[in-house]
Amino acid sequence: MIISKTDTILFTGDSITDAGRRRPVGEDAKDWLGKGYVKDIASMMMAWEPEHQRRIQNTGIAGNTVLDLHQRWQEDVLDLHPDWLSVMVGINDCSRSFHRPLVTEGLVSPDTYRVTLRELVATTRASLKGMVLMTPFYLNSSFQDPLRSALQKYAEAIRELAEEYDCVLVDTQAVFDKALQHVHASRLSDDSIHPKPAGHMILAKAWLNAVDFQWQPSVEG
């Protein structure tokens, strides 16, 4: 695994990361990390590597766009001094133009999304051991769905930034698309945005695979 067993890992983003976590900072205790993929990642680390001393934190906030993340970056990211930072944001940036088409306040275009996120990554990456960027996703298997189609521009920005700044990429849409070949989207989400427990577990497994988590114990001797 590319993350040391004593590193601090901070997760931030929107409601998918928030998942009911404790304020002001969710920590690895009880349900303080929330009930989503961040908790699942911490749980699997503990189950497979009980000797690890990693500190897991969560500052995701439901409803956030990249502009909201920009406003709280100092307090909810930089001031916490993580070794590793994982970011997933974008579904609210894209979906609001579909769900609230007459409300123009708070809309975030793909260009604004890309520029804002690049600023955050560029000003933070050098201070970290590593950064994980997760693409936004939409749990609908139809490639003709207009929201899913529009979301690809936001996901492409993530892919570009991950390559440009040497970040670990988690292509969540690709991972979910594999699952959707076998199960209906309703098994993973009620609204195509917020995962059910199995959906969060898929995210957690994809994240751990991306950072080269060792699912098999090393052979000694």
Residues classed as catalytic = 15, 191, 194
CATH number at residue 56: 3.40.50.1110
- Do the domain assignments include residue 1? no
Range of the domain at 186: 8-210
- Do the domain assignments include residue 216? no
- Do the domain assignments include residue 131? yes
Length of the chain: 221
Residues 137, 91: contact at Cβ < 8 Å?
Answer: yes
- Do the domain assignments include residue 122? yes
CA of residue 217 relative to chain centroid, distance:
26
Minimal CA–CA distance to 173: which of 133, 210, 137, 209?
Answer: 137
- Do the domain assignments include residue 217? no
Long-range Cβ contact pairs of 116-122 (< 8 A, separation 24 or more): 116/66, 116/67, 116/70, 117/66, 117/87, 117/89, 117/157, 117/158, 117/161, 118/161, 118/164, 119/70, 120/66, 120/69, 120/70, 120/73, 120/87, 121/87, 121/161, 121/165, 121/167, 122/165
- Do the domain assignments include residue 127? yes
Residues 170, 206: contact at Cβ < 8 Å?
Answer: yes
Work out how many domains the chain is built from and give that number.
Answer: 1
- Do the domain assignments include residue 137? yes
- Do the domain assignments include residue 59? yes
Instruction: Walk along the chain (221 residues) and give the pLDDT tens digit of each residue.
Output: 899 999 999 999 999 999 999 999 999 766 799 999 999 999 999 999 999 999 999 999 999 999 999 999 999 999 999 999 999 999 999 987 766 655 556 678 999 999 999 999 999 999 999 999 999 999 987 777 888 999 999 999 999 999 999 999 999 999 999 999 999 999 999 999 999 999 999 999 999 999 999 998 654 43
